[in-house]
Structure 1
């Protein structure tokens, strides 16, 4: 899964530590997520999206998944 976490964090001039404290994880976790070393839990992903006032799908995305999903109908 790819993410925009680093760009969002830098645009707000926040450190990894500040983001970590805001969402209740370690700085190492934020580093790992930013560098695609791990995917966050669902609760952490939503906390990060709330922190940056973005929908979760704007912060995290799967490059292999189509951006639009067709509904049966």
Structure 2
């Protein structure tokens, strides 16, 4: 699934490590999510969206 995590993270000047620590996952997990190689669990997706103050639909773009 596509997402805007990299863009949102850059706007806050956060590293992948910063975001990973705030969400409670590894940096490798954030990297895989950003690249679309891994879909986060629903609770993780909601935590990420909440950290950026965005609705989940604005962060994650679910395809067909």
What's the TM-score bracket when you normalise by the shorter of the two chains?
over 0.9
For structure 2, which runs of at least 5 residues remain unmatched after alignment?
A: none
For structure 1, which runs of at least 5 residues remain unmatched after alignment?
A: 65-73
* Higher helix fraction (1 or 2): 2
Q: What is the aligned partner in structure 2 of residue 26 from structure 1? A: 26
Moved over 4 A (4+): none
Q: TM-score, normalised by structure 1?
A: 0.84
| Greater Rg by CA | 1
| Higher relative contact order, structure no. (Cα contacts within 8 Å, ≥ 6 residues apart) | 2
- Aligned positions, number: 64
Q: TM-score, normalised by structure 2?
A: 0.96
